[in-house]
Structure 1
Amino acid sequence: MIKKWMLISLLVAATPAQATTIIKLGHGTNENFHMARAMVEFERLVEEGSHGEIDVQIFPSSQLGGDRSMIEGVQTGILEMAVSPSSFFTNWDPAFGVVELAYIYPDKDTALEVLDGPEGDALLGRLDRIGLKGLGWVESGMRHLTNNVRPIKTPQDLEGIKLRTMKVPAHVDTFKALGANPTPMNFGEVYSALQQGVIDGQENPLSLIDTQRFYEVQKYLTLTGHIFTAYTPVISQTFFDSLPEGQQHLIEQSMDQAIAYDRELVAEEDADHLAHIQSSGVEVNNLSDEQHQAFADIAASVNAQYRERIGVDVFDGWMAAIHRASEQ
């Protein structure tokens, strides 16, 4: 983990003396990832819209540390903004665990409708309790499994596979129930851990499997679509409140446009990511409806155990919203 004094030194060194307002934004992905490109669009929109009064400086690829340390940096004022997976906010508010429960969304359109609706807005509103302002939901996508041991077609095929997961208790518990050996680790360590055989596999959206070049060190991909993930861009509430109203509106509007741009990129590029992974020599496996349901049934029992931890009202409201959205 990056030392606090190193983080401060990096940020101070990157701040031009002539800038009126500096927004330092950190995230964990490389610059080819669609979310990273959307944040570059956010940078452009804010800088042009403010006529140069705001200078947005982006630090990709975990340059400022892991997601938790970046969020803490925003809370303490070392960093103005961070864009991290929504699940990381469970470290402060268990309610955020509801977003990434396994197999709860029938498809990504349903997930996005819930996130963009009243339930998603209410969840973002809870961030003010920890000194943050949530600016929306940036699509990451449906997560899929890769590994070097065997093709995964049933839960039994996961038996004993050492699988990297995010540091999310519900994810870890789900993969334990499915028979895998879940191994939480920071995202920036995954490629080398796969290359060195420290872990057998990992799970991520196609865009990350491709842009992080995991296909170079993996043999099998199964399109499990087990969890939908989203990034939550946050800004320091204290910093945001210090800005003129016009600049506050510009930041919110620019992030809305960047989020829309990100979703366009995902829609346009997912098929290309899959084709590139397959052409690299990775064996791709699709699941039948029956095979998919076998995984979902096991995950459902784990999800039920998280109802009280997340909060009964939040959990039940989220599931009701999914039901409404999927019926439309």
Structure 2
Amino acid sequence: MKEKYMKLFFVLSPILVLILLMYIILSGFDVYSVFLTIGVLLSCSFNLILLYRIFRPLKTISEQTSRMKDGDLTVSLECAGNNELGKIATSINSALEYLRTLLGLVTNEAAEVSKKSVEIASVSDGTSRDIRLISMAVAELASGAQETGAIAQNAASKTDQVSELAKSTAAGLESLLQITQQIVESVHQGSEAIGRSRNIVNEIAATAQYNVRLGGELKGKSQEVREIIKLINSITAQTNLLALNAAIEAARAGEQGRGFAVVAEEVRELANRSRHAAGQINEIVESMLSDIGHVVVAFETTQESLNTGVHTITEANDSFADIRSDIEKSRNKLQEVTLLADNQAEAAVDLMSTVHGVAAIAEQSAAATQTAAVSSEQMTVSVAQIANGTQQLSRLAGSLEQAVFRFHFSNTKTLRVGFEMTDKSVCYAGMEKFGQILHERTQGRYSLKIFHSAQLGTGLDMIQKLKEGTLEMTFPALPTLAGLDKRFMIFDFPFLFRNENIADYILHGPFARKLLNMLDQYGFYGLTFAESGFRNTTNSRHAIMGLEDFRGLKIRTMQNDLHIDTWKALGAEPVPLPFANLYNAMRLKEVDGQENPIATIYDDKFFEVQKFLTLTNHVYSPFILMYSKKLWDIVPVEDKPIIEQAAKEGALYTTKVNRKRKEDNLQALERKGMSIGQISPMEIANIQEVVKPVIDRYKNQIGKELVNELFTEIKKAEEKTV
């Protein structure tokens, strides 16, 4: 504006002087005209000086205030003097100081609100989860209370029956006690009868023993008779022989011995008759001896039977004594039981009254738990609304901080990075390290502001901010970028990396740089990769040692076709499910297991509902730290290498922290009771063959050339890390 007025003044001044000179000439150089001309010239000179003194500070003010238009509040208007312009400059400086203080306060308060809202959102999420569990437990309790009420009603009915049964039992026991008394008396009478029988049998046994003795004596006498008969037979044989000899001698004597021969013949006949009679007697005696032997054997058998009978009767008598003793004891116990039965009958009446009371209480409890279930459901909704509200508040606070960031309070340039992970994540630790390194190496010219926990929106929201140039950096996982470009699905291939060393070789080598360069076409500059870690498998059924152990397992997975097809190839049953529903699904056995990095398994307390952890390392999950292309292009050339190197070192620190936490978490999980195992290299090779068709199927979507290049790089890495 100053230049415009000055030019106008210099154009008009010569014209005015020329007009005055013409006026002097035409007026004949009179004194009045000369003085008028001199006055006009002096007036013009004074005005020129005055304009210069006015417009010089105005130019300074204009230049400095133009910086304010771009958000630079570090300016301070310099205008010497105590005139109006000086007062204006002083007022503006005061306003700027107040504005700086106000915006600083707004920034600090917005940051604090954002921080607190994130904390509240985090607590609300945890509370929401706990309340969901409580709600489910209360619902189960309500269901159980209803069942308890039904059971109590049934029990009340049963106790009525028990009461009647107890009364009947008491009456039956009284009858049984009377019968037992009769049995005791009968046993006593039986015991006396057995005693009498034992005496009679003892007498019979004595008689039988006497008969056996007599039979033995008779047998002895018969033996003597047999000896006598033998003697008679011997005598008759000798007599017969003598008679024969006499007959022979008589025959020799002739007529003189005829009379002697007759006598000898008669003697011989008498001997024969005697021998015949002795034979008959012997037969009779032998028959008698046989009969006597049988009689003796019969007597002996009878005696043995009688002895056995006596012994048996004695044992029976002893048994009857024991029975009598036992029955006496039983009667005593029965008396006690009868007394208890009477008491039980009385208790059954009390129990019946109590159970009816319990049934009534159970009905009230069921109604109360039902009300509690409804209340807990409402509480769940309320907490969810609080969580959503705090998340929205966090985002509003983040947006407010974003808006304030266009104003500069100091000469330090603040870069911003946003991501969805919390301030407890490895991403946050890595970005803190990035900020420290950046601040040190630029000697305070740069600082880093971290927006975590989705303070600036979802991952896609922050990616859009990078495109628009309203945010410098974000830290998305590759599945988020896969929505922009399928080629970023490449690390979702299963069982790519044998170990972390091979993953490091790929993520910090030429192949990774090639992937980062792909971001240029979408308006981003890829700074570096960082590690989230391997995904591992947990389940509640059995340890996974090989391919066969996957079969039939219901595994929760993300809504990712490549992941789903991989689990199907392994023989498992993939169940796509939102992460928020995972814990409860495992608790209710709706799924057998899941797959996530170790940190997630520990932080979300999956050890409470999962027994077996297998270090399958089946998918490697990296992050990409990327910069807005619009904002990167205006970064001073000398600062770009510093920013990029600091980012890489921060990413490496992320990897370091992640691996340290992994080891700590594994030890903690083992202490919590999880069984931790691994799959052998041979089984891994078998599994890789099984999932190879899945990789071949997705090669076309990702790009065969890119996939083949990755596998070539992996092979190189394996050769170098052997």
Query: By the TM > 0.5 criterion, same fold?
Result: yes
Give distance in 2, aligned partners of 1:249 and 1:321: 26
Asked if 1 retains the 8 angstrom alpha-carbon contact of 2:413 and 2:445, the reply is: yes
Give distance in 1, aligned partners of 2:457 and 2:560: 18
1:146 aligned residue: 538
1:180 aligned residue: 573
2:213 aligned residue: none
Q: Shift in Å at residue 103 of structure 1? A: 0.9
1:223 aligned residue: 615
Identity of aligned residues (%): 25
What count of residue pairs does the alignment treat as equivalent?
325
1:11 aligned residue: 398
2:463 aligned residue: 71
1:134 aligned residue: 526
Structure number with the higher helix fraction is 2
Asked if 2 retains the 8 angstrom alpha-carbon contact of 1:220 and 1:284, the reply is: yes
2:451 aligned residue: 59
Q: 1:276 to 1:98 in 2, by over 3 A?
A: same
Q: 1:63 to 1:200 in 2, by over 3 A?
A: farther
Asked if 2 retains the 8 angstrom alpha-carbon contact of 1:219 and 1:282, the reply is: yes
**DSSP-derived class of the 1:235 partner:** strand
**DSSP-derived class of the 1:84 partner:** coil
Is 1:285 equivalent to 2:677 in the alignment?
yes
1:110 aligned residue: 502
Q: Which moved more, 1:217-226 or 1:265-274?
A: 265-274
TM-score (normalised: structure 2): 0.41
1:96 aligned residue: 488
TM-score (normalised: structure 1): 0.86
1:271-282 to structure 2, matched below 5 A, reads 271-282=663-674
**DSSP-derived class of the 2:679 partner:** coil
Give distance in 2, aligned partners of 1:189 and 1:241: 43
1:23 aligned residue: 415
Q: 1:48 to 1:283 in 2, by over 3 A?
A: same
Q: Shift in Å at residue 315 of structure 1? A: 0.9
Asked if 2 retains the 8 angstrom alpha-carbon contact of 1:34 and 1:207, the reply is: no
Q: Deviations over 1:181-230 (max 9, x none)?
A: 241546x7755765677755332222332344443443321111111221
Asked if 1 retains the 8 angstrom alpha-carbon contact of 2:529 and 2:622, the reply is: yes
Q: 1:258 to 1:190 in 2, by over 3 A?
A: farther
2:433 aligned residue: 41
Give distance in 2, aligned partners of 1:73 and 1:5: 17
Q: What residue identity is the alignment partner of 1:34?
A: V
2:694 aligned residue: 302
Asked if 2 retains the 8 angstrom alpha-carbon contact of 1:35 and 1:262, the reply is: yes
Q: What residue identity is the alignment partner of 1:309?
A: Q
Give distance in 2, aligned partners of 1:232 and 1:252: 13
Q: 1:145 to 1:80 in 2, by over 3 A?
A: same
Asked if 2 retains the 8 angstrom alpha-carbon contact of 1:74 and 1:236, the reply is: yes
Structure number with the higher strand fraction is 1
Is 1:209 equivalent to 2:598 in the alignment?
no
Q: Deviations over 1:102-140 (max 9, x none)?
A: 112222211221222211111110001111111111122
Give distance in 2, aligned partners of 1:79 and 1:171: 32
> RMSD over aligned Cα, in angstroms?
3.0
Q: 1:307 to 1:7 in 2, by over 3 A?
A: farther
Q: What residue identity is the alignment partner of 2:397?
A: L
Structure 1: state its 5+ residue gaps: none
Give distance in 1, aligned partners of 2:595 and 2:426: 17
Give distance in 2, aligned partners of 1:281 and 1:98: 35
Give distance in 1, aligned partners of 2:445 and 2:565: 47
Tell which has more relative contact order, 1 or 2 (C-alpha 8 A, sep 6+). Answer: 1
Asked if 1 retains the 8 angstrom alpha-carbon contact of 2:586 and 2:609, the reply is: yes
Q: Shift in Å at residue 146 of structure 1? A: 1.8
Give distance in 1, aligned partners of 2:590 and 2:633: 45
Q: 1:213 to 1:255 in 2, by over 3 A?
A: farther
2:554 to 161, 169, 182: 161
Q: Which moved more, 1:213-222 or 1:223-232?
A: 213-222
2:562 aligned residue: 170
Asked if 1 retains the 8 angstrom alpha-carbon contact of 2:429 and 2:657, the reply is: no
Is 1:86 equivalent to 2:478 in the alignment?
yes
Asked if 2 retains the 8 angstrom alpha-carbon contact of 1:137 and 1:259, the reply is: yes
**DSSP-derived class of the 1:133 partner:** strand
Q: What residue identity is the alignment partner of 1:181?
A: P
Structure 2: state its 5+ residue gaps: 1-387
Is 1:124 equivalent to 2:516 in the alignment?
yes
**DSSP-derived class of the 1:104 partner:** coil
Asked if 2 retains the 8 angstrom alpha-carbon contact of 1:33 and 1:207, the reply is: no
Rg larger in structure: 2
Q: What residue identity is the alignment partner of 1:240?
A: W
Give distance in 1, aligned partners of 2:467 and 2:540: 39
Q: What residue identity is the alignment partner of 2:618?
A: H
Q: Shift in Å at residue 101 of structure 1? A: 1.0
Q: Shift in Å at residue 180 of structure 1? A: 2.6
